[in-house]
Amino acid sequence: MSISFLLVLSAAVLGAIIGSFLNALSFRFNTGRRILALSGKDGRSRCMSCGHTLEALDLVPIFSFIFLRGRCRWCGSRISWQYPLVEAVAALLSVLVFLSVPGPISYGFWLLVWMTLLFIVIYDLKHTIIPWSCSIFLAALAIIFLLASQVGHPMSIFGIWGLLAGPALAAPLFLLSLVSGGRWMGWGDSALELSLGWLLGFTAGLSALLLAFWSGALIGLGILFYQRLPWHKKVSVTMNMRSEMPFAPFLILGAALALFCHVDFFSQIYLLF
């Protein structure tokens, strides 16, 4: 096995382990349960149904779910798809980050950024809200990124563009929240977009925002259409035109496409000047 293959594999394993931690965090965050407890009732992970303390064999990211066929070893109740899905996505993100920025400091930084974004997606899907602590942490990372990119060429024209990208891209979302009192667009979404603008820069950030609106509209219409199908049984979540749909997952999907697939509709715009 070549060194590069081993490194990619390690990035995948590290991502899956962090994904497993994010799963635990998503069930404990803001619930009063201690997150980093190693003993006591908050310490070990337990089955949600029977409360049996889980052992090493139950806690291997992705593989435990596959080998146990998605059921608890003790009570046989179904384990949520959230577990393997988040672990797999975290592993994929870690590999994508490694392939785009293999240097250890850059990799560590962007891994932290993407794991924070992944946690925001999970939390927003579960609770349709973005925790402020996550927004503030992400904004701090974005500001560190802006400062670090200034090293060597302080206050260059690209530096000023980069600084303006955050507020400029967050402004339309902020206006939507302001006009609707937070109903059309959550306040947390503009806070998230501020950081995404800083992290992606103006042109990639704008592409990401457009992709977010398009994919959001597509999925929203898809859900509405699905609910009108005759064979569609009543699902637990019904939706209409005014339903609150979490938007952070779409903003972050757009950012992932812009960053990892290099979708940038506007990069050629500089050629016009």
Summarize as ranges the residues that interact with Zn ion (CB under 5 A): 47, 49-50, 72, 74-75
Q: Whole-number minimum distance, CB 73 to Zn ion, in Å?
A: 7
Q: How far is the CB of 64 from Zn ion (least distance, A)?
A: 13
Q: Which is nearer to Zn ion, 76 or 108 (CB)?
A: 76
Give me the least distance between CB of 112 and Zn ion, in Å please: 33
| Distances in whole angstroms, Cα of residue 16 to Cα of each of 10, 12, 40, 263, 272 | 10, 6, 25, 26, 44
CA atoms of 243 and 234, how far apart (whole Å): 16
**Helix-strand-coil percent breakdown of the chain, rounded to 5?**
65, 0, 35
Nearer to Zn ion, 49 or 150 (CB): 49
Q: Are 115 and 22 in contact (CB under 8 A)?
A: yes
H-state helical runs in 128-186: 132-150, 157-180
255: buried, middle or exposed (CB in 10 Å: 19+, 13-18, 0-12)? buried
168, 197 Cβ separation under 8 angstroms? yes
Nearer to Zn ion, 64 or 195 (CB): 64
Nearest distance from C-beta of residue 79 to Zn ion, angstroms: 9
Give yes or no for a contact between 252 and 189, defined as CB atoms under 8 angstroms apart.
Answer: no
Cβ closer to Zn ion: 72 or 146? 72
Indicate the residue among 30 and 53 with the shorter CB distance to Zn ion. 53
* Paired tokens of 255: 């950012």
Kindly tell me the burial class for residue 5, based on how many C-beta atoms sit within 10 Å of its own C-beta (0-12, 13-18, 19 or more): exposed
Buried-state track 84-94, b at ≥16 Cβ within 10 A, e below 16: bebbbbbbbbb
Q: How far is CA 273 from the centre of its chain?
A: 35
User: Which C-beta is closer to Zn ion: that of 14 or that of 59?
Assistant: 59
Residue 230 CB neighbours (<10 A):
4
Q: Which is nearer to Zn ion, 51 or 103 (CB)?
A: 51
